[in-house]
Structure 1
Amino acid sequence: MTSLIAALPMYDWPEVRAETDAQWARLRDALRDVGVDAPDALTRDVADLQALWRNPQLLLSQTCWGPMELGLADHVQLVGQPSYDGIEGGQGIFYSSALVMRRGEGALQTPTGQPILPLDLMAGKRLAFNSPDSMSGIIGLARDLAAAVKNLDLFSARIETGGHRASVIAVAEGHADIAAIDCRSWSLAKKFEPAAAGLQAVGWTAARKGLPYIASQAMSVDTVEVLRSVMESQLN
């Protein structure tokens, strides 16, 4: 039995787990066909993603550029970038985050790839965010605000929720007023999270590279090259 592990936690909502499992099954079988001992199933319900991503047995996972910039890049190898084509706010390997508020509290905006920041509307509001190392949830927004000569002090409070879905719910239920939700998570929320029906995108962050696929630094160069080739053929 293989000791290698694989996990795709970033968009693994319960409603799409069958689709995620089917995607992994295709990748697993293609990897095994070329001699990589890929695990039968994805690792799930991980309490510590940082430990998972730093595990030397990590064959494949997906992370965020926030953790990568904060030190994770020293422990992993970049395998590739997903495509966000077909998702509002996405184009190729680039994505924007939707700035969501309750319906009626701002004008609906469509993404352009450039930051759309309704600063007057945002001022004094309570910001819900998934985690402090999230590029899509807070770091990218902070950088866009800095480019507009503003900062996160624009908000009256910052409320960490633990996940994009939880941020959507927090805004919808009135525990927060605004959240930055990456475009794929926002697309999932509109399909599967009832609370999202009461929200709309009143702004967007600038387009940035999407959530990268990674492998442990301990994986051989040959294994990573095979991973890249298989993922290119199976996912594109």
Structure 2
Amino acid sequence: MSEFIAALPMYDWPEVRHEVDAQWARLRDAFRQKDIDVPETLMRRNGDLPPVPGGVRDAAGSVIAPDPATLPPNELDFHKLWLHPALLFAQSCWGPMELGLSKHVQLVGQPSYSAFEGGQGELYSSALVMRAGELPSVASPADGSALIPVDLLRGKRFTFNSLDSMSGIIAPTRDLEALGEGLDIFSERSESGGHRASIIAIAEGKADVAAIDCQSWAQAQRFEPAAEAVAVVGWTRRRKGLPFITARTTPERIVVALREAVAALA
């Protein structure tokens, strides 16, 4: 059994679990060719994480996360996963990275978003969605620039997946600021808990607008019935997509090998 753990939780919807497993199989085989001790399967529950008696500590010895054994076993706390000292490979978000996670992990690489509208290579953008019928759906700008219909958004109820999400709130905030505006154009702001939940809230009339990263939006169009009641009215500017990371304590030789393998698969 490997001493390491791996997870790819960011797009791991139940309907695409087999696709995520297949993605991991490709990565796992590439890592093994680099003589890395790789876990066979992905972690999907707090209960699958190895215990860390006394809690996870940073380089200075301060506790930065509790022992996973104390967490609800059938849930998955992304932040605790990312901080786990046995983490070999996972996908994070640039929001948490900018807010402090980057001090405790090492960057491995970036996935490609070219398969999705709004993505190009390592860059992705968010679709601004509202209930269908407000305006015709608009295509992602070819040059990757922001397309923010401020007048349409003003006074609407904005919902977002989480406060540290780059795609859900940080990116639209920055694009609004570039136009001399801010989140105060919205009459209300609420946290939905996830991109899929934001789409459902809009379809059900509980919110008016959300920013959904382009891969999640593509998945919603495939699997979420509520997406049929929602249309794209704008796009955020393209930015770096969700990064692959490894623990701060992962040895340099392994980090270099991980980076080479990910780059070769890109």
**What is the correspondence of 1:15-164 to structure 2 with a 5 Å cutoff?**
15-46=15-46, 47-112=76-141, 113-164=144-195
Counterpart-to-counterpart distance in 1, 2:201 and 2:127: 15
Shift of the alpha carbon at 1:34? 2.8
C-alpha RMSD over aligned residues = 1.1
2:248 to 208, 213, 217: 217
- Which deviations, in whole Å up to 9, do the C-alpha atoms of 1:31-73 show, x marking residues without a partner? 2233211111101134321111011110000011000000000
Point out the structure with max Rg over C-alpha: 2
Counterpart-to-counterpart distance in 1, 2:179 and 2:208: 21
AA partner of residue 43 (structure 1) = M
What secondary structure does 1:186 align onto? Answer: helix
Alignment TM-score, normalising by the size of structure 2: 0.86
Structure 2 unmatched runs, 5+: 47-75
Counterpart-to-counterpart distance in 2, 1:182 and 1:10: 11
The 10-residue stretch of structure 1 (70-79 or 46-55) with the greater mean CA deviation from structure 2:
46-55
1:184 to 215, 230, 245: 215
What secondary structure does 1:115 align onto? Answer: coil
AA partner of residue 2 (structure 1) = S
* Contact 1:161 1:167 survives alignment (8 Å): yes
The sequence identity of aligned pairs, in percent, is 59
Structure 1 runs (4+) deviating above 6 angstroms are none
Structure 1 unmatched runs, 5+: none
Task: Tell me which of the two structures has the higher relative contact order, counting C-alpha pairs closer than 8 angstroms and 6 or more residues apart.
Answer: 1
Count of residue pairs brought into register by the alignment: 235
AA partner of residue 184 (structure 2) = D
Shift of the alpha carbon at 1:221? 1.1
AA partner of residue 31 (structure 2) = L
AA partner of residue 212 (structure 1) = P
